[in-house]
Structure 1
Amino acid sequence: MALDRWIALVLLGVCLAYGYAAWFTMDSGLAPFMRRNPIWPSTFPKVLSVLGIVASLIILLGLEKGEEKELDIDYRRLGDYHLGQALMLLALMVAYALCLRPLGFIFSTSAFLILGSFILGERKWHIMVPIALFATLVVWYLVQQVLGIYLRPLPGFIGG
């Protein structure tokens, strides 16, 4: 079986478990007045699980393939790809998640965007830094002010 079908099989298992949780366990603790609502907190997870199951089955059954083509990624030659960049980006994502609360949203997100673009090969610092700062501030403003969700903007030791 090809690599894409193995991945689809794993995703099918995840979607089935997620769907089971969404369909049978999430709604048991709802208050009585919420049971009459047309949209419940589990509506979006139910839709996601069904879409994930359908997509996984399409890949497993091979319905997405027209004619046979050459493999895009040869898993026997992983060393020929930019595996170091991918691993560094994964490590950077973990570091971002760990630093988000103690260092604040603005510093952590800006550092993540700048270091991530550096890992991917961008070297124009005069473009990279302002764009990362602008994107971070726009996202922080939208989440904090428009949606009303509190994000600690600054590190705790500064007063954030």
Structure 2
Amino acid sequence: MALDRWIALILLGICLAYGYTAWFTMDAGLAPFMKRNPIWPSTFPKGLSVLAITACLVILFGLEKSEIKPAEIDYRRLHEYKLGQAIMLLCLMVTYALCLRPAGFLFSTTAFLFLGSFILGERKWILMISVAVIATVVVWFLVQEVLGIYMRPLPGMLGG
């Protein structure tokens, strides 16, 4: 069996456990007044488990295969791939996670988006900065004001 099918089989097991939890155990502790709501806390996990199980089955049965063979990864020529970019992005993600609390959401996320686009090869500075700032402010506003989840916008030394 090919590597993608083995991975799909492992993910299918994980998704089945996740689906079992979403369908049978999450709603057991709901308060009586919440049981009359049209949307429960388990609604999104239920849909996600169905979609994930479907995707895993499609890969397992080979329904996504086409006549054209995609380029396989040649492990002997691994040095020709852009591993440097991937490793730098992984390091940037770890740095972002470590700096999120002390540096604040707005600065950390803006810097992460800007540096991530720089690592991936974008060189239009004004576009990179504007997209990073707009995306960061929109996400912060949606999480903070719409969802009501507090996120420290600024570093602690600036009153965040």
Structure 1 and Structure 2 fold alike (TM over 0.5):
yes
Residue in 1 that maps onto 2:69: 70
Q: How many residues align?
A: 159
> Normalising to structure 1: TM-score of the pair?
0.87
1:29 aligns with 2:29: yes
Distance 1:37 1:128, change over 3 A: closer
| Equivalence map 1:1-160=2 (5 Å) | 1-67=1-67, 69-76=68-75, 77-160=77-160
Q: Hey, what's the Cα distance between the residues in 2 that align with 1:148 and 1:42?
A: 20
Deviations 1:56-98 (A, max 9, x none): 001110012232x333341524332112211221221222122
Q: Hey, what's the Cα distance between the residues in 2 that align with 1:88 and 1:6?
A: 28
Q: Hey, what's the Cα distance between the residues in 2 that align with 1:135 and 1:105?
A: 12
Stretches of structure 2 that go unaligned for 5 or more consecutive residues are none
Q: Hey, what's the Cα distance between the residues in 2 that align with 1:72 and 1:34?
A: 50
Q: Hey, what's the Cα distance between the residues in 2 that align with 1:128 and 1:146?
A: 26
Q: Which amino acid aligns with 1:14?
A: I
Q: Hey, what's the Cα distance between the residues in 2 that align with 1:145 and 1:35?
A: 27
Distance 1:39 1:130, change over 3 A: closer
Distance 1:65 1:116, change over 3 A: same
Indicate the percent of aligned positions where both proteins have the same amino acid: 73
RMSD over aligned Cα atoms: 1.9
Q: Hey, what's the Cα distance between the residues in 2 that align with 1:26 and 1:84?
A: 42
Stretches of structure 1 that go unaligned for 5 or more consecutive residues are none
Distance 1:29 1:132, change over 3 A: same
Distance 1:22 1:38, change over 3 A: same
